[in-house]
Amino acid sequence: MNAMIGQPVRRREDVRFITGRGRYTDDISLAGQGYAAFARSPYARARIVSIDTTGAKTTPGVVGVFTGADLTAAGIGALPCGWLVKSTDGSDMKVAPRPPLAATQVNFVGEPYAIVVGETLAAARAGVDALEADFEELEASANLASAMEGVQIHDGIERNLSFHWALGDAAAVDAAFARAKHLTTLTFANNRLIPNAIEPRACVAAYDAASDEITLYTTSQNPHLERLILAAFVGLAPEHKLRVVSPDVGGGFGSKIFVYPEETAAAWAARALNRPVKWTAERSESFLSDAHGRDHLTTAELALDDAGTFLGLRVRTRANLGAYLSTFGSSVPTYLYGTLLAGQYCTPAIHVEVDGVYTNTAPVDAYRGAGRPEATYVIERIVETAARELGVDPAELRRRNFIQPDQFPYETPVALVYDTGDYQQSLERAQKLADVAGFPARRAAAAAKGLRRGLGYSCYIEACGLAPSQLAISLGAGVGLYESGEIRVNPTGSVTVFTGSHSHGQGHETTFAQVVAGKFGIPIEQVEVVHGDTGRVEFGLGTYGSRSLAVGGSALVKSADKIIEKGRRISGHLMETAPDQVDFEDGVYKARGTNRRMTFGEVALAAYVPANFPEGLEPGLSEKTFYDPKNFTYPAGAHIAEVEVDPETGVVKVVAFTAVDDFGTVINPMIVEGQVHGGVAQGIGQALLELGAYDESGQLVTGSFMDYAMPRADDLPSFSVDTTVTPCTHNPLGAKGCGEAGAIGAPAAVMNAVTDALGVKDVAMPASPERVWRALRGA
Amino acid sequence: MKVSITVNGAPREAEVAPNTLLVELLRGSFGLTGTHVGCDTSQCGACTVRLDGKAVKSCTVLAAQAEGCEVTTIEGLGAPGALHPLQAAFQETHALQCGFCTPGMIMGALDLIESGERLDEASVRAGLDGNYCRCTGYHNIVRAVLLAAGANA
C-alpha cells in the first residue's frame, strides 16, 4: 500500500510562486547578454528579393544582424516535422522545408526572416526597423475552405495538400449506411485557437568557448526532445555539446512542445557572437508565431437503425496545417484524431478521411487535447443531434450504444484497444450531480424571465500516454514514447528523483514526490524532484498528451521497486535473514519472525558504507528505468453543461458545468480537480469566446487580447467536479491521465446546451452573441 | 533621469531613461523578477503591483510616474514561513498551477479584500476581471480570495 496515494497534499512548488521566487526563463539574465529582436514578415506570402542589413548593422548598440541566408550558409537545417504520415496511395506526406529564418520566401504573417542582437532591447528593435527588406508580394491561400483550389504555396505541393490520410473500413461503412433507417449529418468547423500561455515564449542562450558548449534556457515542455531535434536535424550543435534547460515554465498547453525558429536562431547567434543572447516574445509575437490549434472543417454522417443503434460513422475532415508542418503538426489531425472516433460507443463501422492542407497562416499543432477535442466534438455533436432527430433522450441514446463494462478489452474499428472503463457509471454520476431531473423546472423558471435555458452532454474518451514506442514508430513517429525515471537514494536517506517529464503547472514536484515517498515510507520532505534540464536528467520525452503520471510516474514506480529490492538484499544480509524473508513496510525492513529491523535510512547508509555487504552486490542505492507502456491509457467521462441564453442580446451564460471523469487511480485529487477546471475553462473558451481569425489576405485579425477573447473570471461559473475510478490495467499506478479531459469534453457539452436552448441544429463555435442572435432569428 | 521610490519598504534609486516602464525598473534595475510581463498592453494583469496602496499594471506606468511613491511587489507581501493570508489561501485552495499569473493575481486581489466591501463569488469574479489566468479556470482563485477575505469559500 502507498499511503500517500489519494491524498490532497498541498503543492510544494507553490511557496516559490506565491512569494515571487519562481525562476522563469525571462528571469534569467547572464553577464554580458545581448537582446534579440526578430524581423517578421508583414505579408502572408512574398518572395524575398533582397535584404539590406547595412542600416541595421550601423544602428547604435546593434552587435549582430543575421538573415536566413546567413543561417543557411552556416549549415543550419530546416526545422523538422517529427511524425511521418502516409497518404492513402502509400506516398509520404509532402513536407515544405521550414528554415528557422526564411531565406527566399515568407509564407505567413509573422514568419521571422532576420535576427538582430543589440546591447539593449531598444537597440535590437531599432536595428530591426533599420533593416531594408525588399519583398515581392505574392497571392496567398489563407482560407482553409478554398486552399485546395487556391494558389499553390510551395513548389511541388499541388493543391496545397500534404497528405490525404484515411482510417477504417470504407466498404463496411457503405454497407452500414445502405441498411440504415436513419441518417444524421452535420457540417461544421472546429475553430482555430491560439494557445496563449500567460508566459510568452522566451530563451537565453550562452556559448562557452572553452568547452565548445551551448546552454539554452528555454520555455520548453520537453527539453531533451528540443536538444535531440536541434542536434540531429537542425545541426545547431552536437547533442553532447548542447544543454537545454527548461526552468519554471508559465503554462504550455502544447504550444511549448515544439522547436521554434526563435530559440534556434538565438542559440546560433550566441555562438556566432560569443556572448549570451536573450529573447522574450511580446504578446503580439505569441499571437503571430506560436503554433495555433484545431482548425478543421468536417462533415460527419451517422447511420442508425430503428432502435437507435449506431451502425456506422463516416467523417470527412479538412485540417489546416498552416504554412509549414510544425514539430508534430501531421500527427494531430490523423493518429490523434481519427483513432478516437469510436468514442465510448460500439459503432461497428467507422471510416475517416483527412486532407492535411497548407495555408498561408501560422503553423498548426497540438493544443490541449490535440485531435481528441476535435474527435469528441464530431461524435458528441452528431450523437446529440441524432437523439433530437429521433426524439430520444440524448442520455438514453448514448446508454444504448455504450461499450459495456464486460466488453473490455474492446477493440474499436479505428485501431485502438480500450483496456477498461465504465461509461454508464460516469454518466449516471454526472446526471445526479448536475440534477438533470430538476432541469425542466429550471428551464421553465428561466423562460418565465424571458431566458432560454439548455442542457447538453458530452461523453468523451481520450487516449493518453501514446504508446508503445514500437507501434508509434511503425505509424510514423520519429521518437519513442517511453519515459525515464531515476531515483538516487543519498547516503543520509534523502532521495533525489530525476524525471524526464516536465512540469509547467501540473504539480509534478508534489505528485511524483507523493508516489516516491509513499513507496519508501519516508516523509515527502525527504524527496526532491528534478526535471527540465538535460544536464541533470539523463533523457526524457517530456510532458504532453496527459502522459506524465501514467508514463513518467510509472518509470519512477519501477525504479523504486528496484531500490526496495536491493535494500532487501542489503538489510537481509545485515539482519542475517534470507532476502525473501525480509518484509518492507512503512519505511522499515523487517526480518520475518524476528524483532530485527532496519529503517530505509539505515539501509541507505549501509549501501554507501559497505563494511558488511552481500557478496557480488555493488555499493550504492540508485536505480533508473525507461518505462515503455504496453498501450495507451483511456481516460473517459461525462460532462454536462447548462446554459442560459438572453434572446435579446444573444449572450450565452454557462450557469452550471459538471464533469465526472474516470482518470483511473488518482494520486492527488486536489491537483486533478485543478487540471479539470483549467481544461473545462479552455473548452468553454473554445465554445463561446475564442477564435483565431485570418482575413482573406492572410492578416491575423485576432492578434491581441483586445481581439482574441480568452475567458476571464466573470465569463465562467464555478465547476462541479467528481471522479469515478476504473484503474488502468497495464501500468503499475493504474493512472490514466487528467490534463486534457476538460478541454476535450467541454466544447461539445456547451454547444449541445446552446443548440438545445435555441432549438436549432447547429451554431458555429465560438457561439458569439452575434451568431446566437442571428441563429434565433434565422438570419 | 533619476527616480527615487520606496520599494517594499526600502528606499531605492535608479538612473532610467524617461520612457522606462515601472515593470522594467522593478525587474531590471531592482531584480524583482516576481512581477511578470504577459502582454505589454494592460490586458493580462500579470504585472500588477501596488502603487501607494492601489493596484496598478506596472507595464502601463512609467518609472518616472512612481517618483516619490511607495511600491509593493509580491516579494514585499510575505515570505516563506511568513506568508500573507492571501498568499497562504492561494496555496491552501490550489489557486495556482504554473504560477506565472499568480503574483499579479494576488496583488490585484488585495485591492478587493482591502476594499471593505462584502465579497461573494460574483463580486470576486467581477473584481478579478483585469487578470488573466490560463491554467486554473479561476475556480480556485475565487475560493482563495473568499477564504482570505473571511467569507465562506
Q: Looking only at Cα atoms, what is the longest distance across chain B? A: 49
Q: B41 contacts in A (CB within 8 Å)? A: 283, 704-706
Instruction: Name the phi and psi angles at A201, rounded to 5.
Output: -60, 150
User: What confidence tens digit (pLDDT) does each residue in B95-137 have?
Assistant: 999 999 999 999 999 999 999 899 999 999 999 999 999 999 9
Upper half-sphere CA count for residue A179 (Cβ side, 13 Å): 11
Residue B153 has pLDDT above 60, yes or no: no
- Residue in chain A closest to B39 (alpha carbons) equals A283
What is the rounded distance in angstroms from the CA atom of residue A142 to the CA atom of residue A46? 13
Split at pLDDT 50, 70, 90, the class of A471 is confident
Q: Where are the alpha helices (DSSP H) in A402-462?
A: 423-433, 439-448
Query: pLDDT tens digits, residue range A602-633?
Result: 999 999 999 999 999 999 999 999 999 999 99
Q: How far is B8 from chain A (nearest CA, A)?
A: 13
Average pLDDT, chain A: 97
Q: What is the pLDDT of residues A525-556, one digit of tens each?
A: 999 999 999 999 999 999 998 899 999 999 99
pLDDT-derived band at A409, boundaries 50, 70, 90? very high
Radius of gyration of chain A (CA): 27
Cα separation of A201 and A199, whole Å? 7
Q: Is A707 on the interface with B (CB under 8 A)?
A: no
Domains A296-466+631-776 and A482-627 share a fold: yes
Query: In which band, very low, low, confident or very high, does the pLDDT at A646 lie, cut at 50, 70 and 90?
Result: very high
3.30.70.3040, 3.90.76.10, 3.30.1360.200, 3.30.365.10: CATH of A296-466+631-776: 3.30.365.10
Q: Chain B neighbours among A 499-558 (CB < 8 Å)? A: 504-507
Q: Nearest CA to A99 among A68, A129, A73? A: A68
How many angstroms separate the CA atoms of A235 and A258, rounded? 16
pLDDT at A474 over 90: no
Q: How far apart are CA A610 and CA B78, in angstroms?
A: 46
**Among the partner residues A198, A505, A681, nearest to B38 by beta-carbon distance:** A198
A282 three-state secondary structure: coil
- Say if CB B77 and CB B60 are below 8 A apart: no
Q: For A688-713, write each residue's pLDDT tens digit.
A: 999 999 999 999 999 999 999 999 99
Say yes or no to pLDDT of A100 above 80: yes
What residues pair up with B11 in beta bridges, in sequence order?
B6
pLDDT for res B151: 66
Q: Which of the four pLDDT bands, split at 50, 70 and 90, describes residue A275?
A: very high
Can you tell me the mean pLDDT for A86-96?
Answer: 98
User: Domain residues of chain A, as ranges?
Assistant: 15-138+199-250+256-289, 296-466+631-776, 482-627
Q: Which residue has the cell 475565487?
A: B142
Grid look-up 550562452 returns A206
The predicted-structure confidence for A160-205, as pLDDT tens digits, reads as follows: 999 999 999 999 999 999 999 999 999 999 999 999 999 999 999 9
Distance CA B77, CA B89 (A): 13
* A43 conformational bin, left if phi > 0, alpha if psi -120 to 50, beta if neither: beta
First-to-last alpha carbon distance for chain A, in angstroms, is 62
All residues of chain A having their beta carbon less than 8 Å from the beta carbon of residue B27 are: 27
B120: closest CA of chain A, how far (Å): 12
Q: Is residue A3's pLDDT more than 90?
A: no
Q: Which of A10, A198, A671 is the best residue to mutate to test the B interface, defined by the most B CB atoms within 10 Å of its own CB?
A: A198
What percent of chain A clears pLDDT 90, i.e. is strictly above it?
Answer: 97
Contact assessment for residue A322 and residue A108, using Cβ atoms and an 8 Å cutoff: yes
> Quick one: pLDDT at residue A271?
98
Residue A117 main-chain phi, psi, to 5 deg: -110, 130
Which value does ipTM take for this structure?
A: 0.98
Q: What is the DSSP string of A719-762?
A: EEEEEE----SSSTT-B---SSHHHHHHHHHHHHHHHHHHT-S-
Residue A620: Cβ-neighbour burial (10 angstroms; 0-12, 13-18, 19+): middle
> If we measure between CA atoms, which residue out of A644, A641, A720 comes closest to residue A684?
A641
Q: What is the pLDDT of residue B152?
A: 46
Domain ranges across chain B: 2-76, 85-148
- Interface mutation vs chain B, best among A7, A9, A16, A17, most B CBs within 10 Å: A17
In A159-308, which residue ranges form alpha helices assigned H by DSSP? 170-178, 223-229, 261-273, 283-289
Distances from the Cα of A603 to the Cα of A489, A510, A589, A597, angstroms: 10, 25, 9, 10
Residue B65 is given by DSSP the state: G
Instruction: State how far the Cα of A393 lies from the Cα of A386, in Å rounded to an integer.
Output: 10
B46 vs A contacts (CB less than 8 Å): 198
Task: Assess whether the previous peptide bond of A8 is cis (omega < 30° from 0).
Answer: no
Cα–Cα distance for residue pair A347/A349, rounded to 1 Å: 6
- Answer yes or no: is pLDDT of A461 > 50: yes
A interface mutation test: which of B105, B139, B152 has the most A CBs within 10 A? B139
Q: Are A450 and A649 in contact (CB under 8 A)?
A: no
Classified by CATH at the fold level, domain B85-148 comes out as DNA polymerase; domain 1 (1.10.150)
Output the CATH code of domain A15-138+199-250+256-289: 3.90.1170.50
> What is the nearest CA distance from A675 to chain B, expressed in angstroms?
7
Confidence of residue A478 (pLDDT cuts 50, 70, 90): confident
Among A343, A347, A350, A399, which Cα is nearest to A376's? A343
CA A686 – CA A747 distance, rounded (Å): 6
Residue A779 pLDDT exceeds 70? no
What part of A 617-656 touches B (C-beta under 8 Å)? Answer: none
CATH class, domain A482-627, is alpha beta
pLDDT digits over A29-41, tens only? 999 999 999 999 9
Round to whole Å and give the CA distance between A430 and A178: 36
Pairing outcome for strands A182-190 and A242-245: unpaired
The pLDDT score that the predictor gives to residue A466 is: 84
Reported confidence tier of residue A2, pLDDT bands at 50, 70, 90: confident
| Alpha-carbon span B131 to A600, nearest angstrom | 47
Choose among A535, A723, A762: nearest CA to A637.
A723
Q: Does A217 touch chain B (CB under 8 A)?
A: no
A225: left (phi over 0), alpha (psi -120 to 50) or beta: alpha
| Cβ-based neighbours of B18, under 8 Å, separated by 6 or more | B1, B62, B64
Query: Among A290, A297, A464, which Cα is nearest to A374's?
Result: A297
For domain B2-76, give the CATH number: 3.10.20.30
Residue A69 has pLDDT above 80, yes or no: yes
